[in-house]
């Protein structure tokens, strides 16, 4: 048993975090291009202007992917690179970049997985109201159509949105991310509804204009939960908690059910709907039908989880973390159990084949005197997490795992201060160095996780 024979081992990135070339070859501007230029938004004033310069170095990067033995690469398209105003005029140079990227991946035997939206809202659309504007549904659909027309002859796998929880929650509620807005709750629920409809519209367009039978999914994040013990009552407590809403309204976006039930079950979660009704826009049956346009696979980004038990009062409660609980450099808890219980609970509820579309950690990696990058913490983290994933693979229809990230990159508001890559990037010279974990992951891939 263990991982299926055709299990897909890959790594993921996103456009703004690695591409650079922010003002090149006719690319339009998006909200991050603008946000990073304002003082105080990004650690140490970093920007993604150059990032990993992947726009120019992608051929070398694909060679490294090959050397690592990756079977698949999940990357995102910068909407404003191919449609500078978000709609209308096509930038052929942007199309040519992604086209060559895809061809080169295929020449190296690496399956491309495209994410349509990893947070780069074209600035021109933002100025027209962005996600507040119901027209976003059609604009996103038009973008998906163009992607299908130009790339789906060679690309079979697509994810629509990456982590709507973040781009709505951090972008429009807390304002930590672009475009840096602290909107009223009512507005954020309206945006979320438009986002879900845009997802549905993109699925329709990909299917209609796809040049082959496409495999289409969605890649949210959300707070995972795992039980303190394997006693049935604790398992039930964790199951209830993972799909329930936060107690605090202003924390509402960190939720699995709100963002996934409509897509996979065709309705918003009932209890929460009642609770948040005062903030909700008008929602019609046609809206729900569009949102629930059938998808083929379910992607979930999983980094950590909360430990849950059934309280004495019969209600689920969170188990406090002990003093000195293990944490990654970015201060996220190390909780490998989430990679077993997360897919298990999601599969029970949504009954779709699952991909882990992101998982990984940041370490403050350095180049040692021997010129190598030793990252034992990453190897230890991955050994623990992938061991749990292997358990899940025995019970769940699990199709693939994409490590976040292929290489160090621009970590949004943290700039380059956090390193998530299997490959170290020296941002001064753009030199790439395999970390020890990249060699370790290569072995995992070769043996299909046999030793985990």
CA distances for 88 relative to 91, 150, 193, angstroms: 10, 15, 24
Give least dist CB 275 to ligand IFM, A: 27
357 lies in the site for ligand IFM, by CB under 6 A: no
Binding ligand IFM (rule: CB under 6 A), the pick from 223, 301, 335, 377 is 301
Give the count of alpha carbons within 13 A of 311, CB side only.
9
Nearest to 10 by CA among 113, 99, 116, 106: 113
365 lies in the site for ligand IFM, by CB under 6 A: no
Kindly list the catalytic residues.
Answer: 163, 358
CB 14 within 8 A of CB 76: yes
Give least dist CB 162 to ligand IFM, A: 6
Residue number, 91 or 115, with CB nearest to ligand IFM? 115
Residue number, 358 or 388, with CB nearest to ligand IFM? 358
Give least dist CB 164 to ligand IFM, A: 11
19 lies in the site for ligand IFM, by CB under 6 A: no
Site string for ligand IFM, 55-94 (x = CB under 6 A): ----------------------------------------
Binding ligand IFM (rule: CB under 6 A), the pick from 53, 163, 261, 293 is 163
Residue number, 83 or 170, with CB nearest to ligand IFM? 170
Backbone angles phi, psi at 368, to 5 degrees: -80, 175
Give least dist CB 115 to ligand IFM, A: 10
Give least dist CB 76 to ligand IFM, A: 9
Residue number, 11 or 235, with CB nearest to ligand IFM? 11
Place of tokens 């659309």: 125
Give the count of alpha carbons within 13 A of 185, CB side only.
11
Residues in the chain: 452
Residue number, 17 or 255, with CB nearest to ligand IFM? 17
Other Cβ atoms closer than 10 A to 63: 13
Long-range contacts of 99-102 (CB under 8 A, 24+ apart): 99/150, 99/151, 100/58, 101/58, 101/62, 101/75, 102/151, 102/154, 102/155
Tokens of 71: 């079977």
Query: What percentage of the chain's residues is helix, strand, coil (to nearest 5)?
Result: 40, 15, 40
CA distances for 44 relative to 64, 176, 332, 344, angstroms: 29, 15, 21, 40
Binding ligand IFM (rule: CB under 6 A), the pick from 3, 7, 10, 14 is 14
CB 315 within 8 A of CB 241: no
358 lies in the site for ligand IFM, by CB under 6 A: yes
Give least dist CB 402 to ligand IFM, A: 11
Binding ligand IFM (rule: CB under 6 A), the pick from 113, 252, 268, 404 is 404
Residue 206 CA to residue 271 CA, distance in Å, equals 33
Binding ligand IFM (rule: CB under 6 A), the pick from 169, 411, 432, 441 is 411
Residue number, 407 or 438, with CB nearest to ligand IFM? 407
Which parts of this chain interact with ligand IFM (CB under 6 A)? 14, 17, 163, 301, 358, 404, 411, 420
């Amino acid at each position: 048993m263990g991982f299926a024979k055709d299990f897909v081992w890959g790594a993921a990135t996103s456009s703004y975090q690695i591409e650079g070339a922010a003002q090149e070859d006719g690319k339009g501007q998006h909200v991050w291009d603008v946000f990073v230029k304002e003082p105080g938004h990004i650690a140490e004033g970093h920007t993604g202007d150059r990032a990993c310069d992947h726009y120019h170095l992608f051929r070398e990067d694909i060679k490294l992917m090959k050397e690592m033995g990756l079977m698949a690469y999940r990357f995102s398209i910068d909407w404003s690179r191919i449609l500078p105003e978000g709609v209308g005029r096509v930038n052929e140079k942007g199309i040519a970049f992604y086209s060559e990227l895809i061809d080169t991946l295929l020449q190296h035997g690496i399956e491309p997985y495209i994410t349509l939206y990893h947070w780069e809202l074209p600035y021109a659309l933002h100025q027209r109201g962005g996600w507040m504007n119901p027209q976003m549904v059609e604009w996103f659909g038009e973008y998906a159509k163009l992607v299908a027309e130009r790339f789906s002859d060679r690309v079979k796998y697509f994810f629509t949105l990456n982590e709507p929880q973040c781009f709505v929650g951090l972008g429009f509620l807390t304002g930590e991310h672009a475009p840096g807005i602290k909107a009223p709750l009512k507005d954020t629920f309206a945006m979320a509804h438009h986002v879900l409809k845009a997802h549905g519209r993109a699925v329709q367009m990909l299917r209609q204009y796809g040049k082959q039978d496409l495999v289409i999914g969605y890649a949210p994040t959300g707070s995972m939960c795992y039980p303190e013990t394997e006693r049935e009552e604790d398992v039930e407590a964790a199951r209830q908690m993972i799909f329930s809403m936060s107690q605090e309204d202003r924390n509402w976006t960190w939720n699995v059910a709100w963002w996934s039930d409509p897509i996979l079950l065709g309705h918003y979660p009932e209890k929460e709907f009642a609770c948040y009704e005062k903030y909700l826009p008008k929602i019609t049956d046609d809206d729900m039908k569009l949102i629930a346009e059938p998808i083929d696979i379910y992607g979930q980004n999983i980094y950590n989880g909360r430990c849950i038990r059934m309280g004495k009062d019969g209600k689920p409660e969170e188990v406090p973390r002990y003093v000195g609980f293990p944490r990654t450099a970015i201060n996220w808890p190390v909780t490998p159990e989430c990679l077993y219980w997360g897919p298990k609970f999601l599969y029970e509820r949504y009954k779709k084949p699952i991909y882990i579309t992101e998982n990984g950690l940041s370490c403050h990696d350095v180049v040692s005197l021997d010129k190598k990058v030793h990252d034992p913490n990453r190897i230890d983290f991955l050994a623990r997490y992938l061991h749990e994933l292997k358990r899940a693979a025995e019970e769940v229809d699990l199709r693939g795992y994409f490590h976040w990230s292929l290489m160090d990159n621009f970590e949004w508001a943290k700039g380059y201060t956090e390193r998530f890559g299997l490959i170290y990037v020296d941002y001064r010279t753009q030199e790439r160095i395999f970390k020890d974990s990249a060699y370790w992951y290569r072995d995992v891939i070769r043996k299909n996780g046999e030793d985990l």
